[in-house]
Amino acid sequence: MIGLEHYLILSVIIFCIGLLGLLRRKNLLMLFFSTEIMLNAINLAFVSVSSYLGDITGQTVAFFVIAIAASEVAIGIALILLWFKKTRTIDLDSLKYIKG
């Protein structure tokens, strides 16, 4: 039987890969992919803890996280698309109209 730790370590690594993507990627769409990865890492963690604890709450939370992730994707894509329509690029460095 695999211990809970294995799942936790896996989730943390996935979460951190998401962070790596956030830091490394310079493309807005890829940025949103990374946040998606992070949310899924947490989902995995919730489900594994729920299953090891024998408590259903974790799965309920995971369910809502999927809903949150879905709506975030919708808005994110809409915003990128809008930006693409205005500037014909989705490069992160094209966000330069606001200056201090």
Partner 1 sequence: MYEIIAFYLFSSIILALFYIVVTTKQPVFAITALASGLIFIGGLFFLLDAEFLGVIQIAVYSGGIMALYAFGFMFFDASKDIEERTSANKLPFVLFVLVCVILNFLLISPKIALPKPIVEIDTNITNAHQLGLELFSKYLLAFELAAILLLVAMIGGIMLLSSKMDKSWTTTPDDEIKADS
Partner 2 sequence: MNNLTLEALNLSVFTPMGVLLIGALLILCLDLIQKDLSVNFYTMITTIFLLVDLVAVLSSNSGDEAFFGLLKVDGVSIIAQSIVIVGALLFILLSIIPKKFNEFRFAEYFSLFLFSVVGFQFMVSSTNLILILLGLEIASLCIYILIAIHNTHKSIEAAIKFFTLGAISSSFFLLGIFVMYLLTSSIDLVEITARIQTSNHTLIILSLCCFLVSIGFKLSLVPFHRWVADVYDGSSEIMAGYISIVPKIAGIVIAYRIFTPFLEMNIEWLYNILYFIIVSSMLLSNIMAMVQNDVKRMLGYSSIGHSAFILAAILITNEQTLHSIFLYWSMFMFTNMGIFTVLWVSRNKLKKWHKYHDQPHIKFSGLIYSNPFLAIVFSVFMFSLAGIPPFALFWGKFYLIGTVVNSGEIYLALTMAVSGIMAVFYSLRLIVYILLKEPVELDGQIYITNVSWYNKFVMAMSAIVVFFSMSIIGGLLGYFYEILK
Partner 3 sequence: MLHNLILIALFSPLLSSIVSALFIRSPKKLGIFSSILIGISFISSFLLFVFYENSFSYSLFDWLNVGNFKLSFGVLIDPISLVMINTVTLVALIVHVYSIFYMDEDKSINRYFSYLGLFVFAMMILVMSDNFLGLFFGWEGVGLCSWLLIGFWFENNDNTKAANEAFIINRIADLGMLMGLFYIYWNTGSLQYSEVFAQIPNLSNTTITLIAMFLFIGAMGKSAQFPLHTWLAKAMAGPTPVSALIHAATMVTAGVYLLVRSNEIFALAPSVNIVITYLGVFVALFAASMAMVSNDLKKIIAYSTLSQLGYMFVACGVGAYWVALFHLFTHAFFKSVLFLGAGNIMHACKNELNIKKMGGLYKDLKVTAIIMIIASASLSGLPFLSGFFSKDKILESAFSTGYLDIWILLLLGAMMTTFYSFRLILLVFFVPSKEKNSHTHDAPKYVLYAMGILGVLSISAGWIINSFEKFINIPFELNIEHSTHYVMILITVLAVIITLVYTICKYKQPIKEPTSKINTILKNEYYIPYLYSNIFVKLYKKIAEFLYEIIDQKILDKFYEKLAFSVFNFGIVLRKLNTSNLSIMIYFVIVGFLLLLLTNFIRILL
List of residues contacting partner 1 (CB under 8 A): 1-2, 4-10, 12-21, 23-27, 29-30, 33-34, 36-37, 40, 43-44, 47-48, 50-57, 59-60, 62-64, 66-68, 70-75, 77-82, 84-85, 90-91, 93
> What is the nearest approach in angstroms of partner 2 to the Cβ of residue 73?
10
Q: What residues from 56 to 75 belong to the interface with partner 3 (CB under 8 A)?
A: none
- The 3-state secondary structure of 65-96 reads HHHHHHHHHHHHHHHHHHHHHHHCCCEHHHCC
HSE toward the beta carbon, residue 90, CA cutoff 13 A: 16
